[in-house]
Amino acid sequence: MAKISYFDEESRKNRIEARERQKQSDKEYARHRLFRFLRIAIILLVLIGGAIYFYVRYQGKIYVGYDVVNSVGRIKVDGAKDVKLGSAILTYSQDGAHSVDVKGVTTWNQSFEIQDIMLATCGGVSAICGYNGHDIYVQSADSQLGLITTNLPIKNLTVADSGRVTAVLEDTKVVWLNTYEPSGQTIYEGQFHMSQSGYPCAISLSPNGDLLAVSFIFVEEGSVVTNIAFYNYGPVGDNQSDQLVSTFTYRDMIVPEIHFLNNSAAFAVADNRLMFYSGAQVPTTKKEHILDREIKAVYYDKDYVGLIFNSDRADSKYVLRVYNASGDQVAERYFDMDYLGVFFEEKTYAIYNATDCVIYTMTGGCKYEGKFDKNVTLMVPTDTPYRYRVVTDDSIDTIQLK
């Protein structure tokens, strides 16, 4: 019979005690990890809750006035008009144009004599010419980019943020759709017989200048027909006849406006319909809306389209409907004030005139309603939320809502 030694018994007890100590240590470590996890979770919940609280307060905040944080004096010529050009203000008249930056510095000044001015803008680039003229002045917010001279009278034009310009030039029996670099170099010439293709009543270049949208109108068998055509100046268009990549036909409809929102989204406005198109290479139809009343005004930026109609309510004059780049209606607002302009920000839109301004969220909340201290000719957003530049006859003011 084998004997169990004292040392074997002692060793067994030591092993049992070691295992117990390890179990206890594991429990304490697990408890420590749990407490640390709970502490971190509580801190995160407090931070998230605080962020949500301040976000909700920020979203729900109503502004009751504004401070003028910067003001630059100006002398405005009678008959001059002001438009937003990137972060600058472009002022133009029959005698010339100039750009003023955010510090009030005139970055360029161009003299000319144009009786019937046509202006096209896209982002931070503009093109100015005269109806039936031959010279197109191309400029950015910071500098003059070039002068384009045509051999035929100009009937319409559009400009890209890249500086490219497309002009409608009219000959005796044909029209030309010519596209130029701001240096004056011709990169594409398109000839269209009006008896076959119709007349290009609206044109628009994408911001990068790769796509051209054209609304052709013509009469067929006694009915008005509009063809929307998209041309691609890149490799995709090189493989197609005349760079034409897609067309859409609309019968008994006039489409006097077509615009790009960004490089892959465009919209067109007819007398009874709003159409959206999507595609950076070969645009296709995205969405359509049948309109139940006459459009009074169209406003748009890179993200939104706003249409103003006469109101169908007795308590208001107008109604504004806002659509996103996908063609979905995201807001509707009935209002009574006469409007000078409408602009959009990320989740808000503003309606203003010379004396009053209202700002709403896309979800319907009112962020601000008030009056200006001076008559305003232009109001534009800045990169800072609820900070705007307002242009008057004698100053350009930067205001911050409070």
Q: What is the pLDDT of residues 367-382, one digit of tens each?
A: 999 999 999 999 999 9
Overall pTM surpassing 0.75 (yes/no): yes
Model confidence band, residue 35 (pLDDT cutoffs 50, 70, 90):
confident
Sign of the alpha-carbon torsion through 32, 33, 34, 39: positive
Q: Strand 117-122 relative to strand 125-130: parallel, antiparallel, unpaired?
A: antiparallel
Domain residue ranges of the chain, discontinuous segments joined by +: 73-330
* Cβ count near 31 (within 10 Å): 10
H/E stretch holding 221: none
- Greater model confidence, 221 or 3: 221
Kindly report each contact of residues 76-84 with a partner whose C-beta sits within 8 Å and lies 24 or more positions away, as own/partner: 76/393, 76/394, 82/377, 82/378, 82/391, 83/119, 83/121, 83/126, 83/378, 84/121, 84/378, 84/380
- Domain 73-330 bears CATH identifier 3.10.350.10: no
What SS3 string covers 229-280? EEEECCHHHHCCHHHEEEEEEEECCCCCEEEEEECCEEEEECCCEEEEEECC
pLDDT at position 43 is: 75
Q: Is the pLDDT of residue 339 over 70?
A: yes
Amino acid at 286: K
| DSSP class of 384 | S
* Mean pLDDT along residues 349-376: 96
* Average pLDDT of the segment spanning 136-163: 97
- Per-residue pLDDT for 68 more than 70? yes
Return d(Cα 321, Cα 344) in angstroms, integer. 12
Specify the 3-state DSSP secondary structure of 98.
strand
Q: pLDDT band for position 53 (50/70/90)? A: very low
- Report d(CA 286, CA 335) in Å as an integer: 29
For 277-300, the pLDDT digits (tens) are: 999 999 999 999 999 899 999 999
pLDDT for the residue 2: 46
Least confident of 33-42, 191-200, 324-333: 33-42
Query: How large is the average pLDDT for residues 29-42?
Result: 73
